[in-house]
Amino acid sequence: MNTSSGKDIRQRLLAEKAELEKRVNRIHEHARNPLEADSSEQAAQIGNVQVVSALETEAVEELAQLNAALQRLDDGSYGICGHCGVDISPQRLAALPAATLCVDCAAELQG
């Protein structure tokens, strides 16, 4: 990978990471709000807490994937399939910059 594309990829990964960190911080702020005194309102809030918790879990997992992609950039293994060792297509990396598998291996392992 050439240096300029590596810089572009790093900037994109860091931008996505910053957005996810903002999302997680907003979720944490939301979680600090106390429940309403009204029991019917509390039931709705508890349902919201479950949804927010799922969103937080998803964001934290995405952050881990982005951090791993940044580590692969640092160690020179970014863009190489972790299963078969071939280059991951630029189109796949454009769509999923934290991808660890080429299209063929991703399909094989999900199938």
Under 8 Å between Cβ of 53 and 11: no
pLDDT in tens, 85-111: 999 999 999 999 999 999 999 999 987
Kindly state the helix (H) or strand (E) to which residue 104 belongs, with its residue range. Answer: helix 103-110
Cβ-proximal residues to 10 (8 Å cutoff; 6+ apart), any chain: 70, 73
User: Which of 40-49, 51-60, 81-90 has the highest average model confidence (pLDDT)?
Assistant: 81-90
pLDDT in tens, 26-41: 877 776 666 555 666 6
Average pLDDT, the chain: 85
One-letter amino acid for residue 22 of the chain: K
pTM of this structure: 0.76
